[in-house]
């Protein structure tokens, strides 16, 4: 589905992303993790066309999309959410989602109905008339998700969609993402919340100082000394034991 080869992004003298390569197979859920400042959001921005790359290639479904304008990449099926949510504040939840729905449903009635279905998928069916500005953080994250879903994407880039959520909200979003994947959408996500990463992803890439330092199945990556070293001092090694859901809740409440 997605191939990134040798992507490099330089800001001034700093290599924010350094020769990064990754692959996301169709229908998979892949995670991109790494310490703060590793360059994960920059990498996303480059993949989705928000930033021009200095070197490297991005291929979506075999087609080279490097350097294409953002909206064209979105129309080809790759959509991203933002780390800091970007709702259309003065519009209602329904109108927000409809903007996405309009991409594939030019008719107003169809777009509206589709938006409602998507809203129900993410559990926002009861909030359709609320102005987006009134939503809580969790609500905004869901809205962001719903909006991108409404386009009918093939590949979803989720940027820290769990940030700022409490444990029960995290569990809900995890379920929603699993349902999304079950619906045929491929997912690449940036996450810090390890329980979500472990329970969702089938493959993990680890980014540190702009370089991919490890990749593999969750268990392998978690035990990789290079990865632990990258996170040194954050105590994340203890969090990385794959949890059962009961353990996860206990750990989160500790």
Partner 1 sequence: MNRATSSLPPPAGGHWALHLGLLAVAVVFPLVFPSPFMVNFGVLALFYAFIGQSWNIAGGFAGQLSFGHVVFFGAGAYASTILQLRFGFSPWLGLPASAVAGAVVGLVIGFLSFRAGLKGSYFALITLAFAEVLRIVANSVEITGGGLGMLIPAKAGAANFQFAERIGFYYLILALTAGSVAIAVWLKRSRFGAQLAAIRENEDAARALGIDVFTEKLKVMMLSGAICGIGGCFFAQYFLYIDPVIAFGVDKSVEMLLVSMIGGAGTVYGPLIGAVLLAAISDTARVLTNVQGLSLVLYGGLLVVIIAFLPNGLIDLFSRIGKRKRSKAGKEGA
116 with 125: CB under 8 angstroms? yes
Q: Which is nearer to partner 1, 128 or 155 (CB)?
A: 128
Give the C-alpha separation, 215 to 39, whole Å: 16
Residue 95 as a binder of partner 1 (CB under 8 A): the answer is yes
CB–CB of 18/209 below 8 Å?
A: yes
Can you tell me which of 10, 91, 138, 237 binds partner 1, judged by CB under 8 A? 91
Say whether residue 235 binds partner 1 (CB under 8 A).
no
- Whether residue 48 contacts residue 80, with contact meaning beta carbons closer than 8 Å, is answered with yes
Q: Is 86 in the site for partner 1 (CB under 8 A)?
A: yes
Q: Which is nearer to partner 1, 81 or 195 (CB)?
A: 81
Spell out the residues 6+ positions from residue 250 whose beta carbon is closer than 8 angstroms to its own.
none
Q: How many CA atoms lie within 13 A of 42 on its CB side?
A: 25
Smallest distance from partner 1 to CB 27, Å: 22
Q: Which of 14, 89, 137, 232 binds partner 1 (CB under 8 A)?
A: 89
129 binds partner 1 (CB under 8 A): yes
Helix or strand or coil: residue 46? helix
Q: Is 102 in the site for partner 1 (CB under 8 A)?
A: yes
- Based on the shown chain and the rule CB under 8 A, indicate whether residue 109 belongs to the binding site for partner 1: yes
In angstroms, the Cα distances linking 49 to 61, 65, 66, 144, 151 are 16, 8, 7, 18, 17
Question: Of the ranges 12-20, 87-95, 163-171, 203-211, which one interacts with partner 1 (CB under 8 A)?
Answer: 87-95
> Applying CB under 8 A, which part among 23-31, 144-152, 165-173, 194-202 lies near partner 1?
144-152
Q: Is 103 a residue that touches partner 1 (CB under 8 A)?
A: yes
Distance spanning both ends of the chain, measured CA to CA: 39
Tokens 């969790």 belong to 138
**Residue 31 Cα to chain centre, angstroms:** 8
Which of 14-22, 29-37, 100-108, 216-224 is the region at the interface with partner 1 (rule: CB under 8 A)?
100-108
Residues that bind partner 1 (CB under 8 A): 48, 50, 69-72, 74-75, 79-80, 82, 86-91, 95, 98-100, 102-103, 106, 108-109, 111-113, 116, 126, 128-129, 147-148, 151
């Amino acid at each position: 589905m997605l191939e990134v080869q040798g992507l490099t992004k330089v800001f001034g003298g700093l290599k924010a992303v350094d020769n990064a390569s990754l692959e996301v197979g169709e229908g998979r859920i892949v995670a991109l993790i790494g310490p703060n400042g590793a360059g994960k959001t920059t990498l996303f921005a480059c993949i989705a066309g928000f930033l021009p790359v200095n070197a490297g290639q991005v291929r979506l479904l075999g087609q080279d999309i490097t350097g294409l304008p953002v909206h064209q990449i979105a129309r080809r099926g790759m959509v991203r959410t933002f780390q800091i949510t970007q709702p259309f504040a003065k519009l209602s939840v329904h109108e927000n989602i409809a903007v996405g729905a309009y991409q594939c449903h030019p008719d107003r009635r169809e777009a509206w109905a589709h938006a409602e279905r998507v809203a129900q998928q993410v559990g926002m069916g009861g909030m359709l008339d609320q102005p987006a500005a009134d939503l809580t953080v969790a609500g905004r994250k869901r809205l962001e998700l719903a909006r991108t879903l409404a386009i009918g994407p093939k590949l979803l880039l989720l940027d820290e969609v769990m940030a700022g959520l409490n444990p029960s909200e995290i569990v809900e979003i995890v379920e929603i993402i699993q349902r999304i994947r079950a619906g045929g959408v491929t997912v690449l996500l940036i996450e810090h919340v390890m329980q979500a990463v472990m329970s969702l992803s089938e493959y993990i890439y680890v980014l540190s100082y702009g370089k991919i330092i490890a990749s593999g199945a969750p268990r392998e990556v978690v035990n990789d000394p290079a990865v632990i070293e990258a996170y040194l001092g954050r105590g994340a090694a203890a969090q990385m034991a794959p949890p059962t859901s009961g353990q996860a809740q206990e750990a989160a409440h500790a």
